[in-house]
Amino acid sequence: MLPLPAVGWSPDQRALRLLDQRVLPEAEVVRDLVVLEDTIDAIRTLAVRGAPAIGVAAAIGLVVALEAAHADAPGAALRPLVDAWGARLVAARPTAVNLPWAVARLQRVAAALPPDAPPRALLEALRGEAEAIRAEDVAMGEAIGTHGLALVPDGARVLTHCNAGALATAGAGTALAPVYAAHARGRRLAVFATETRPLRQGARLTAWELHRAGISVTVLPDGAVAALLASGAVDVVLVGADRIAANGDVANKVGTRGVALAAQAAGVPFIVVAPGSTIDPATPHGDAMPIEHRDADELAPLPAGVGAWNPAFDVTPRALVTGYLTDRGFVEPPFLE
């Protein structure tokens, strides 16, 4: 599917390896990161992006940074850094719940060890948990693909927004996992990918990975979504999620709400596809979600003196969602556990 996973361990297991998505599709640049600040920068600047992928990146990035900088430090000195450095990673991007979820898993592992545990024991426990997060993410994509096969029968025409494929995870993706699973079974498929302004993650990333996998893909401007859906050219909409609230409201790449409204008007099923870890029972509804805003530079060039309102995400209300597909199959809100 891809020459290498979008995020994972370096071959020597001592660095975070990622495919720098800021330069795709013009170049394929692999980066090995060890220093914590480099991992934070990669997450903040979207060198690695997609809710599952940044969770994996944060887990591995925290471990390798601790090992490189403080492997010989006393355990009592190392333990507070798990919380302090974890908090810095979480602050890099506030909306995607997988980021604090992954960091919290490492923090719980550290807290469960005896206070006098040697640093090597602490680091090995953290490394094991980071690898578990990565492996679970790969298994998650495979499970979603299998559960979602019924959504993409032979000849299916799929619309997707932004990128929720292999580039957004450590494995086969979320919203595109059923597409890859169906393609592997020889089904004929056609995918429409929105351009996804302002960073063109659909045109640059989704189109790149689908074309590379041999799947028919057509890119359309974001403003053409309603017309395409109204034309009857789409059978199902599959989108990912960065956070799903307890009531079923969904935060995803800005523009998703408009796609959902157009799908409802056209009578096309709108399916949210995400791992169970993206469901956040602690967030009651969409109004309680933190929405990240990006720099005006991403909309450049703008006339001098013109302001910009550039949210990275919007919230799609539960009423616009036809169904929720996870690695455990289809689920329904309220999500209270």
The pair of three-digit structure tokens given for residue 115, joined into one six-digit string? 């206070």
Residue type at 191 in one-letter notation: V
State in Å, rounded, how far the first CA of the chain is from the last one. Answer: 34
Task: State the catalytic residue, choosing from 41, 72, 154, 242.
Answer: 242
How far apart (Å, rounded) are the C-alpha atoms in residues 50 and 281?
Answer: 20
Instruction: Give the β-pairing of 250-253 and 7-9.
Output: unpaired
The pair of three-digit structure tokens given for residue 279, joined into one six-digit string? 């469901």
Q: Which of 162, 145, 148, 141 is nearest to 257 (CA)?
A: 162
The pair of three-digit structure tokens given for residue 268, joined into one six-digit string? 């096309």
How far apart (Å, rounded) are the C-alpha atoms in residues 330 and 232?
Answer: 25
Contact at 8 Å (CB) between 231 and 159? no
Whether 242 is catalytic is: yes
Asked whether the bond before 178 is cis by omega within 30 degrees of 0, the reply is: no
**188: Cβ contacts below 8 Å, ≥ 6 apart:** 154, 155
Q: Which residues are known catalytic residues?
A: 242
